[in-house]
Amino acid sequence: MIENGHWFIHNNPLILKKWNPDVNLFKKDAGNVLLWVKLHGVPLTAFSEDGLSVINTKLGTPLMLDSYTSDMCMQSWGRSSYARAMIELRADVELKETIMVAMPKLVGKGSYMCTIRAEYE
């Protein structure tokens, strides 16, 4: 489990440390955790490194995109059914399942509201 990354039980992160006989068993507060998140339903106008960074700030601190998502943003060759990014979250904050963002209209003036679904790995 330690080598495979983060695990979740009912959307709560399970944090493990390797044990040895000298380890203090007092529970240490985990301040921040790093998570991969898949964003489903990202509008085409936001499918860029800057656009995804802005969306990810609604969840936590964006750190990086995975290579597949980054390639799509850099080369503008399309988009997947989701964007995948690593973000840093405070461990004591409840994970958001959806994000509401205002997107500018491509034709005419104004904006529209868009719901993006977050899936945590």
Beta strands in the chain (DSSP E): 7-9, 12-14, 32-40, 61-65, 82-90, 98-104, 111-120
Average pLDDT rounded to a whole number, residues 90-104: 88
pLDDT tens digit string along 19-74? 777 777 666 666 788 889 999 998 888 888 888 999 999 999 998 888 888 887 77
Please answer whether residues 5 and 120 qualify as being in contact, where contact means their C-beta atoms are separated by less than 8 angstroms: no
pTM score, whole prediction: 0.70
Closest CA to 62 of 76, 72, 48: 48
